[in-house]
Structure 1
Amino acid sequence: MTETQTGDVSAVRERSYAWADPTPTLQALPGTAGVDVLKRMLAGELPPPPIMATLGVEAGSFEVGSASFTMQPEEFHYNPLGTVHGGVIAMLLDSAAGCAVHSTLSAGEGYTSVDLTTKYLRPVTAASGRVTATGTVLSRGSRTALAQAQLTDDAGRLLAHATSTCLIFPIG
């Protein structure tokens, strides 16, 4: 690309971040109930997953059957259209729905997402302000769970919605 085609291509921005080794959290999983693992991360007793530092996501709250995360949309989240990339929004919704399911796990249980159906309702940009993804468990069986998540802005407007099926299995 030349400057005449795209403008000033030298306007490069940089971002650096750090994350903690996730091993202590992984080691706690087999012997700790899901909600307790999540609450220990929130309290700083266990490190959060590295993806949170990568994308600038903050944990909000964890209770049995629900989970929330917040994020300030930034330019580094943008797609070529100048809005937050759908994959970033899907990650927030998947995290909220998945951690809502995680909060229902007994010690020795794990889960994985089977599917995630996402609906994007409004564009999200840095001007949107802080967004919150809130997940809740709709149904929890012995092998599967169904959860939903909603992404809202500070004005309470619904930005995106998702449903997720999770497979539950023994670990450890």
Structure 2
Amino acid sequence: MSRERTYSWEDPKVFADAAAGLAGLDFLNLIGSGELPVVPAGATTNILPVAVGDGWAEFEMQPEEWHYNPIGSVHGGMIAGLADSALGCAVHTKLPAGVGYTSLDLNIRFTRAANLDSGLLRCRAEVVTIGRRTATAEARVLDGDGRVVAHASTTCLLLR
């Protein structure tokens, strides 16, 4: 039985223009407050920010059928996307205006399958180290019962 999904997103230039002149935490708080809309990737995946603070970020994703892989569970790439969003934004909270970042690596270890019965998936990431050229962060993805679905780490290149 065929299913259908429609959604809309905002022009990515809105975010690029706003991010250029703001410290990372200020920029992310504008998204969280609704002063900036949901980013296009979030609209597409339904991976959404929950809260951010100095050196940490939390994102969530409600598993949906359209997140599924062919064997009936949430595709690992979707869970990796959830972790990557939280990890990158945790690093972003520590950056001053004019400094960007990009992921150098993403390491993820899956510990259990996620599906519609898993409940809301939530990921909290925290910065471990931040230097002049790189930053690292770690995260855990938890299901609705607080069980670890995956844990991840990243190294980000800081673009000064």
Normalised TM-score (structure 2): 0.97
Q: 2:130 aligns with which of 140, 159, 168?
A: 140
Structure 2 Cα separation of the partners of residues 112 and 48 of structure 1 = 20
Q: Give the aligned partner of residue 24 of structure 1.
A: 14
Q: Give the aligned partner of residue 116 of structure 2.
A: 126
Report Cα offsets for 1:147-171 as digits up to 9, x if no partner. Answer: 011100122111101010000012x
Tell whether 2:40 aligns with 1:34: no
Q: Give the aligned partner of residue 4 of structure 2.
A: 14
Q: Give the aligned partner of residue 48 of structure 2.
A: 58
| DSSP-derived class of the 1:17 partner | coil
8 A contact 1:35–1:64 mirrored in 2: yes
Structure 2 Cα separation of the partners of residues 85 and 169 of structure 1 = 31
Residue segments in structure 2 that go unaligned for 5+ positions in a row: none
Normalised TM-score (structure 1): 0.90
8 A contact 1:22–1:48 mirrored in 2: no
Residue segments in structure 1 that go unaligned for 5+ positions in a row: 1-10
Aligned residues: 160
Aligned-pair CA distance for 1:58: 2.1
Q: Give the aligned partner of residue 89 of structure 2.
A: 99
| DSSP-derived class of the 1:87 partner | helix
Structure 2 Cα separation of the partners of residues 61 and 94 of structure 1 = 15
Structure 2 Cα separation of the partners of residues 142 and 99 of structure 1 = 17
| DSSP-derived class of the 1:142 partner | coil
* Amino acid aligned to 2:79: I
Q: Give the aligned partner of residue 156 of structure 1.
A: 146
Give the superposed CA RMSD: 0.9
Q: Give the aligned partner of residue 76 of structure 1.
A: 66
Structure 2 Cα separation of the partners of residues 154 and 12 of structure 1 = 28
Q: Give the aligned partner of residue 5 of structure 1.
A: none
Structure 2 Cα separation of the partners of residues 24 and 12 of structure 1 = 34
Q: Which runs of 4+ in 1 moved over 6 A?
A: none
